[in-house]
Amino acid sequence: MKQKIITKENPILRKQTEEVLDFGIETQNIIDDMIETMRKENGIGLAAPQIGLSKKIFVCEFSPKEDSGLSGFPLTVFINPKIIKSSKKLATMVEGCLSFPGMELLVKRPESIEIEGFDRYGKKIIVRASGLYARAIQHENDHLNSTLLTDHLEEIDLAFIGTGDLGLEALELLHADSQYNVKVVITSKIVSKQKNRKAPINPIKELAKNLGINVLEVENINDPKIIETIKRSHIKLGVMADFGQIIKKEVLDIFSMGLINIHPSLLPKYRGPSPVQQTILDGNKEAGVSLILTGEKMDAGDLISQAKIRLAGTETTTILKQYLGEIGANLLLNTLSYYVSGDLKPVRQDDDKASYTRLFKPENGFVDENTSEAEVERKVRAFDKWPKVYTVSNGKRVQITAAHLDEDKKLVIDRVKPEGKNEMNYSDYLLGYKHALTFRR
């Protein structure tokens, strides 16, 4: 019968287990229950304490799907086991545990082991195992010695590099994850272009301060003094999003485990500074986010993972960027440990399929009667934050701040901001200014 699995820090999981002396019907029933429970929970191993029994019994088994390329191991039942040999060579793998649902930790263990004990009928057995088999045996054997997955936690120090909104969610999730320790946040020093004006808000800096993380504000990350400062922190892994500065080789070299960039497009499509805006301008049906290794060539590094989403066609840059930031953060947390363990090998981008985006200028927001209605609508969404969409009517500049297409794909202007006035409904604008804003059908 399938049994309920005991989770988290339940004291039973920490209790000293007892040797099994009797191999009779009672023990046989326990073993059958354990096998059934393990299989139904899609686990590759289960120890008796996990179903509430402080006995030295564990089972393990892995039969991968045929096309998965993984190698499995047979159903193994161990009673009163003892690991008698462990290789000096260690391996790091991502490990989970049925008693810690959803948790995946990087755990370093001997690559191969030799274990002796008894099978379910009391016959003495010795098993030599390596790879995932050795991993499962050691994990289950831990359970019999009141050791849990979380006891193996070794934090990985990392640097977060970013300035704009895109990385907010990633920074927050990395900070909350017990596997990672965000030791420093490196961000661009934003100075106001106008004198006596307060500097614009840097959202990453604000968040880092709120989370109590060390902040390093830099005008140029490639400055030799800054490079020295980063080097002194001995951080090997970096995560970057929306930073806005070129990263030179001297900085990349610091991060021997890699500097992972969160880029809001399906690379190699839309490399460069404006992927989200260009996605909307092009009227694409899908968008996405890519995790790549930062190299010297912009956005051309090896691809770690990618997530694709379908677009409704009504997204603004602000909304889509926020959404892709959330998708990217989850993708990062789901794949980072597999990258670190070496299970996930980055692959080269197909440079032949690459396309590039440019930084937009204020004049890119200009539309007039020769601009199609569909284009006006896309521009309003793409340039919602910057550089804004404007036209000139009766010699006066008018910003179009919100618009949509109706069922017949006809442009409906919702909100405008005439020169020197506050933003208003388009219907109010028409009452005062009389001239309708018209575009090409």
Chain residues that interact with Co ion, rule: CB under 5 A: 97
**Nearer Cβ to Co ion (153/199):** 153
For 404, the 3-state DSSP assignment is strand
The rounded distance, in Å, linking the Cα atoms of 90 and 113 is 11
Instruction: Please report how close the Cβ of residue 308 comes to Co ion at its closest, in angstroms.
Output: 33
Instruction: Please report how close the Cβ of residue 239 comes to Co ion at its closest, in angstroms.
Output: 29
**Nearer Cβ to Co ion (95/169):** 95
Find the residue with minimal CB distance to Co ion: 97
Residue 394 tokens, joined:
């009766």
Among the listed residues 224, 225, 222, 218, the one whose alpha carbon sits nearest the alpha carbon of residue 188: 218
Among the listed residues 79, 65, 63, 139, the one whose alpha carbon sits nearest the alpha carbon of residue 103: 139
**Nearer Cβ to Co ion (97/168):** 97
Among the listed residues 360, 163, 141, the one whose alpha carbon sits nearest the alpha carbon of residue 245: 163
Instruction: Please report how close the Cβ of residue 282 comes to Co ion at its closest, in angstroms.
Output: 48
For residue 249, how far is the Cα from the chain centroid? Answer: 25
Catalytic annotation, residues: 45, 50, 97-98, 139-140, 143
The rounded distance, in Å, linking the Cα atoms of 43 and 50 is 12
- For 225-278, the DSSP string reads HHHHHHHHTT--EEEEES--S---HHHHHH-TTEEEEEESS-TTTTBSS-HHHH
**Nearer Cβ to Co ion (141/391):** 141
**Nearer Cβ to Co ion (97/260):** 97
The rounded distance, in Å, linking the Cα atoms of 59 and 48 is 9
The rounded distance, in Å, linking the Cα atoms of 61 and 69 is 17
CB 265 within 8 A of CB 309: no
Contacts of 231 (CB under 8 A, 6+ apart): 254
Give a three-class secondary structure readout of 85-142: EECCCEEEEEEEECCEEEEEEEEEEECEEEEEEECCCCCEEEEEEEHHHHHHHHHHHH
- For 16-48, the DSSP string reads PPBPP---SHHHHHHHHHHHHHHHHTT-SEEEG
Contacts of 339 (CB under 8 A, 6+ apart): 258, 260, 304, 346
Instruction: Please report how close the Cβ of residue 199 comes to Co ion at its closest, in angstroms.
Output: 50
Element (H, E) at 407: none
**Nearer Cβ to Co ion (139/269):** 139
Instruction: Please report how close the Cβ of residue 145 comes to Co ion at its closest, in angstroms.
Output: 12
Instruction: Please report how close the Cβ of residue 75 comes to Co ion at its closest, in angstroms.
Output: 17
For 288, the 3-state DSSP assignment is strand
**Nearer Cβ to Co ion (97/331):** 97
Instruction: Please report how close the Cβ of residue 140 comes to Co ion at its closest, in angstroms.
Output: 7
**Nearer Cβ to Co ion (5/185):** 5
Instruction: Please report how close the Cβ of residue 98 comes to Co ion at its closest, in angstroms.
Output: 6
